Amino acid sequence: MADALKVGIAGLGTVGASLVRIIQTRADELSRTCGRAIEIVAVTARDRTRDRGIDLSGITWFDTPQALAEKADIDVFVELMGGAEGAAADSVRIALTRGLHVVTANKALLAASGVELAKIAEEKGVLLNFEAAVAGGIPVIKALRESLTGNTVSRVYGIMNGTCNYILTRMEKEGLTFADCLKEAQRLGYAEADPTFDIEGNDTAHKLSILTTLAFGTQIAPDEIYLEGISNISIEDIHAAADLGYRIKLLGVAQRTETGIEQRVHPTMVPRDSVIAQVDGVTNAVAIESDILGELLMVGPGAGGNATASSVLGDIADIAKSRPGAQQVPVLGKPAATLAPYQRAQMQSHEGGYFIRLSVEDRTGVFASIATRMAENGISLESIVQRAKPDGSEGSKTIILVTHATMEDSVRKAVDAIKAESYLAGEPQVIRIERPQAF
């Protein structure tokens, strides 16, 4: 049997601790499958004294990730700390430059510096694997990077943040508050160290930017993404969506258009009977539309220690099985130096229409004024209904509009015109409606 693959792990939190536990408890099986043992020889985290419920005896502790990357006698550096800069970025650069294979679950780092890191890996002839960085346990990186080679991808979209989907699901099904659901997602190890990355959509944007590069062969461009999170979604929106036959999901969408690539992340109302609407809790779903294969949907656990560690372990196992000197799969699907510049698409007409919720004073003429502002901006309405406030309060009413297909810009202008009137009793809510063709 070949020599053991020596692994160093930086980060022993939710994912790192799960990974250590799995590698230790499945050592014999892994060794048989990979044709060589996988041995954890070095680790680091911030707090050496913390009890992590894992056995670190016989494993060398390094005081910093940079020192581990630079000095440990290892073949693979596994980065499970997080963050686009600082210790994670420094240590990954050191490891790659030293000629070590790297495995990471860090989408923030890849979104910020993925192309630069891929170039170093390719120059050094080492692997930079990151299956866990997008959609947790779902093998979507491998699917796009390897399995769909030869296909022209037209669209990638899906639910890519477990924390947000968990919050939206529990708010709808159990009537829990946003804050309580978020706390529970943090307790379960789903949320980022700074959970605003989850709920404001940044985490989904990081993941989408990586998928866009793999799908369309363009440079990673997270700053070009239209971004809206779920922090403004209220239980009233969730109930109104349900009454209209929809559920609200935070979707990331990237598609090829005639003018460039469109990337957007925002809460979306999807028909209750669509497959994507049935994806609940921490589960993620990624749909890929391509010309040879057609429509592919991958659904599975999107966050949490074991789900994520499963992908990290798969990446380590790929390295263990790889033959020294063999041609490596390019990190981002094609050689990093050949990725095309990212070209942002011009604003598209949105086919699905919009849901608009307005809180207004209960006065004569308000209904007519709203309908007029919509018409002035060329927006055709599918429905407009008035409801009492859910709390039964007097004096203000909720008006819910559903538009036919229209430009985002027209909706924004109409809403601004309504905001300039004197009858609004709260900030308007605007949510896109999508009717996924395939799922």
Catalog residues that contact ligand HSE under the rule CB under 6 A: 136, 161-163, 190-192, 198, 203, 302-303
Q: Is 14 annotated as a binding residue?
A: yes
Q: Which is closer to ligand NAP, CB of 137 or CB of 353?
A: 137
Tokens of 259: 């003018």
Question: What span, in angstroms and rounded, lies between the C-alpha atoms of 379 and 381?
Answer: 6
Catalytic residue among 142, 207, 249, 397: 207
The reply to whether 193 sits near ligand NAP by the rule CB under 6 A is yes
Question: What span, in angstroms and rounded, lies between the C-alpha atoms of 83 and 104?
Answer: 11
Q: Report the residue from 105, 110, 220, 430 that binds ligand NAP according to the rule CB under 6 A.
A: 105
Question: What span, in angstroms and rounded, lies between the C-alpha atoms of 112 and 133?
Answer: 13
Q: Is 368 annotated as a binding residue?
A: no
Least distance to ligand HSE, CB of residue 133, Å? 7
Q: Name the H helices within 148-296.
A: 162-174, 178-187, 196-199, 202-216, 235-243
Could you write out the three-class secondary structure of 335-365? CHHHCECCCECCCCEECCCEEEEEEEECCCC
**Inter-axis angle of helices 14-25 and 27-34, nearest 10:** 80
Q: Report the residue from 32, 33, 35, 46 that binds ligand NAP according to the rule CB under 6 A.
A: 46
Q: Which is closer to ligand NAP, CB of 30 or CB of 78?
A: 78
Least distance to ligand NAP, CB of residue 138, Å? 11
Sign of CA dihedral 21, 45, 310, 252: positive
The reply to whether 190 sits near ligand NAP by the rule CB under 6 A is yes
Find the part of the chain contacting ligand NAP (CB under 6 A) among 41-49, 216-224, 252-260, 364-372.
41-49
- Kindly tell me the burial class for residue 313, based on how many C-beta atoms sit within 10 Å of its own C-beta (0-12, 13-18, 19 or more): buried
The reply to whether 50 sits near ligand NAP by the rule CB under 6 A is yes
Q: Is 12 annotated as a binding residue?
A: yes
Question: What span, in angstroms and rounded, lies between the C-alpha atoms of 267 and 22?
Answer: 35
Question: What span, in angstroms and rounded, lies between the C-alpha atoms of 30 and 12?
Answer: 21
The reply to whether 205 sits near ligand NAP by the rule CB under 6 A is no
Q: Which is closer to ligand NAP, CB of 20 or CB of 414?
A: 20
Question: What span, in angstroms and rounded, lies between the C-alpha atoms of 205 and 226?
Answer: 9
300 DSSP β-pair partners: 284
Q: Is 189 annotated as a binding residue?
A: no
Q: Is 302 annotated as a binding residue?
A: no
CA-based radius of gyration for the chain: 24
Least distance to ligand NAP, CB of residue 51, Å? 11
Binders of ligand NAP among residues 212 to 241 (CB under 6 A) are none
User: Which residue number places its CB atom closest to ligand HSE?
Assistant: 163
- Of the CA atoms within 13 Å of residue 52, those in its CB half-sphere come to 24
> Considering CB distances under 5 to 8 angstroms, the limit depending on partner class, which of ligand HSE, ligand NAP, none binds residue 428?
none
Greatest CA separation for the chain: 83
Binders of ligand NAP among residues 82 to 101 (CB under 6 A) are 82, 87
User: Which residue number places its CB atom closest to ligand NAP?
Assistant: 13
Binders of ligand NAP among residues 295 to 354 (CB under 6 A) are 303-304, 308
Q: Which is closer to ligand HSE, CB of 87 or CB of 160?
A: 160
Q: Is 17 annotated as a binding residue?
A: yes
Tokens of 72: 């440990």
The reply to whether 196 sits near ligand NAP by the rule CB under 6 A is no
203: which residues sit within 8 A by CB, 6+ positions away? 107, 108, 160, 161, 163, 192, 197
Least distance to ligand NAP, CB of residue 163, Å? 8
Q: Is 312 annotated as a binding residue?
A: no
Distances, alpha carbon 75 to alpha carbons 38, 116, 122, 133, in Å: 10, 21, 16, 21
Cβ atoms of 62 and 43 within 8 Å: the answer is yes
The reply to whether 166 sits near ligand NAP by the rule CB under 6 A is no
Q: Which is closer to ligand NAP, CB of 12 or CB of 269?
A: 12
104: which residues sit within 8 A by CB, 6+ positions away? 78, 79, 80, 88, 92, 110, 128, 129, 130, 132, 133
Q: Which is closer to ligand HSE, CB of 65 or CB of 136?
A: 136
> Considering CB distances under 5 to 8 angstroms, the limit depending on partner class, which of ligand HSE, ligand NAP, none binds residue 198?
ligand HSE
Binders of ligand NAP among residues 107 to 136 (CB under 6 A) are 132, 136
Q: Is 149 annotated as a binding residue?
A: no
Place of tokens 């700074």: 194
207 is catalytic: yes
Q: Which is closer to ligand NAP, CB of 78 or CB of 238?
A: 78
Q: Is 360 annotated as a binding residue?
A: no
Binding site listing for L-homoserine: 192
- Which residues are near ligand NAP by CB under 6 A? 11-16, 44-47, 50, 65, 80-82, 87, 105-106, 132, 136, 189-190, 192-193, 303-304, 308
Residues identified as active-site: 207
